[in-house]
């Protein structure tokens, strides 16, 4: 059942569930943060509208910098601003930032512990019709090894707004990951928000597996849990919004309680959420684990729901992974 303590969306499983893109939460959060802190500045690489930086640019034109199609330049400028008392947000597609400007971010922002927030939009195959070149599917793997950085992946637009505002209050580099299309709004404004903790969205009395979900695909995990409950299979569904530093204590507690785990992410299974969880388990006490995500392949152009079905990242794939991991216990 849904965890009532978290005050989640009561219409979560209704046909008319509210839909909103996580990038929209970023745009709303930027404006609120700009109103709170005059030192917040935003830079964009010719994608102001797509990254939802437009409202900030209109409200605070003297604090917005359009650098054009020059992601490396954007990162270097932001690095200077970040060590000069500003809180800088750089906005582009994840495939381009941190994709195209990876080394510049590493050397000028991360190494100098500059106060820059990297907003990677259009992440995962959720990017849909833009195709494989624009679908950032290995961004987390490419930056998770960096020292000094924090990595946040909100599950919906409300959590995205909260994460954006929270990122602005943190000193040092932060990576925020957002998606293109609308997805179900799972949380509410009243849902407790703590980026340091994994939240269990689905609970049961005698769970035999825990699903660790990341981002918009968490909804597929909840759909799977609801269906499996009708079959008598009890489980937990955990929302992992912070990939680094990951909540090791909760991972250990939840896996020891259930004895098995499944990870679910719109990302390559190598180096992403599943990899981060597996690293925690092998250093402590391992349990059988299955990984649901992109299996060493690029995506393609298509509708998001069709793509996650083809690449076995939807509700049915989660159900299959749950049954497989239970058989391995």
Active site members? 71
Burial per residue of 117-126, b for 16 or more beta-carbon CB atoms within 10 angstroms, e otherwise: bbbbbbbbbb
- Is residue 49 exposed (0-12), middle (13-18) or buried (19+ Cβ within 10 Å)? exposed
* CA distances (Å), origin 245, targets 195, 248, 249, 277: 9, 8, 11, 11
Phi-psi region of 296 (alpha: psi -120 to 50; beta: other; left: phi over 0): left
Each as own residue / partner, the long-range contacts of residues 224-229 (CB below 8 Å, 24 or more positions apart, any chain) are: 224/315, 224/316, 224/318, 224/319, 224/322, 226/13, 226/202, 227/315, 227/319, 228/319, 228/322, 229/1, 229/204
d(CA 85, CA 262): 42
155: which residues sit within 8 A by CB, 6+ positions away? 22, 186, 187, 213, 214, 215, 216, 218, 219, 239, 241
Distance CA 212, CA 230 (A): 20
């Amino acid at each position: 059942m849904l965890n009532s303590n978290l005050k989640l969306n009561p219409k979560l499983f209704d046909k008319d569930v509210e839909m909103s893109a996580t990038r929209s939460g970023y745009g709303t959060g930027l404006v609120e943060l700009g109103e709170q802190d005059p030192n917040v500045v935003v830079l964009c690489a010719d994608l102001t509208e797509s990254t939802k930086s437009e409202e900030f640019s209109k409200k605070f034109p003297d604090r917005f910098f359009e650098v054009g199609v020059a992601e490396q330049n954007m990162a270097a400028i932001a690095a200077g601003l970040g060590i000069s008392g500003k809180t800088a947000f750089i906005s582009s597609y994840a495939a381009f930032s941190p994709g195209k400007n990876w080394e510049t971010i590493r050397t000028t922002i991360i190494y100098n512990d500059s106060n820059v927030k990297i907003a990677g939009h259009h992440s995962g195959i959720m990017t849909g019709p833009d195709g494989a070149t624009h679908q950032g599917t290995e961004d987390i793997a490419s930056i998770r090894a960096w020292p000094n950085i924090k990595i946040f992946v909100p599950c919906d637009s409300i959590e995205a707004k909260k994460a954006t505002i929270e990122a602005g209050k943190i000193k040092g580099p932060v990576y925020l990951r957002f998606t293109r299309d609308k997805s179900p709004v799972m949380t509410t404004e009243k849902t407790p928000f703590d980026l340091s903790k994994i939240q269990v969205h689905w609970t049961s009395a005698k769970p035999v597996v825990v699903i660790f979900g990341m981002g918009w695909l968490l909804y597929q995990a909840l759909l799977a849990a609801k269906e499996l409950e009708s079959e008598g299979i009890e489980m937990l569904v955990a929302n992992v919004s912070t990939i680094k530093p990951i909540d090791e204590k909760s991972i250990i507690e939840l896996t020891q309680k259930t004895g098995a785990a499944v990870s679910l992410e719109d990302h390559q299974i190598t180096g992403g959420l599943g990899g981060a969880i597996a690293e925690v388990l092998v250093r402590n006490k391992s349990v059988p684990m299955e990984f649901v995500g992109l299996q060493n392949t690029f995506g393609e152009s298509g509708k998001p729901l069709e793509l996650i079905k083809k690449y076995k990242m939807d509700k049915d794939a989660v159900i299959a992974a749950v049954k497989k991991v239970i058989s391995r216990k």
